């Protein structure tokens, strides 16, 4: 007679053990990745003197507003815009995504010893 624990059950183990233990790490990694994309947006929306005297910039963009004002010495405008933008985005992101996913991860996917 073969014990049940020795039967191949790859998908069951994947669904009940492996993915639940990794869910909190996936949530934290997703949050970190989204937050670090702000630097990429700043470069993508405004890049002064990219090729000699040419400047790459979009017409409308919050990161362009911030980086172009910093480049031109208007740090007060940039600080106000960035503070307001980041406060709004961080609050919404924290409430909608991170808090809900971390609550789900801690309630459902906790491995007890």
User: What is the count of structural domains for the chain?
Assistant: 1
83-110 burial code (b ≥16 CB/10 A, e <16):
eeeeeeeeeeeeeeebeebbeebeeeee
In a domain, 4, yes or no: no
- Whole-structure pTM over 0.85, yes or no? no
What pLDDT is recorded for position 4?
59
In a domain, 113, yes or no: no
Residue span of the structural domain in which 56 resides: 9-108
In a domain, 73, yes or no: yes
Q: Give me the average pLDDT of each 10-residue run along the chain (113 residues).
A: 59 69 74 71 74 79 78 82 76 75 70 59
């Amino acid at each position: 007679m073969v014990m049940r624990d020795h039967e191949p059950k790859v998908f069951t183990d994947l669904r009940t053990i492996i993915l639940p233990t990794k869910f909190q790490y996936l949530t934290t990694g997703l949050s970190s990745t989204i937050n670090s994309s702000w630097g990429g947006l700043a470069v993508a929306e405004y890049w002064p003197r990219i090729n000699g005297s040419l400047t790459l910039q979009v017409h409308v963009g919050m990161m362009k507003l911030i980086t172009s004002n910093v480049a031109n010495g208007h740090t007060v405008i940039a600080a106000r815009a960035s503070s307001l933008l980041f406060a709004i985005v961080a609050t919404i992101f924290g409430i909608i995504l991170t808090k809900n996913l971390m609550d789900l991860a801690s309630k459902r996917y906790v491995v007890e010893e």
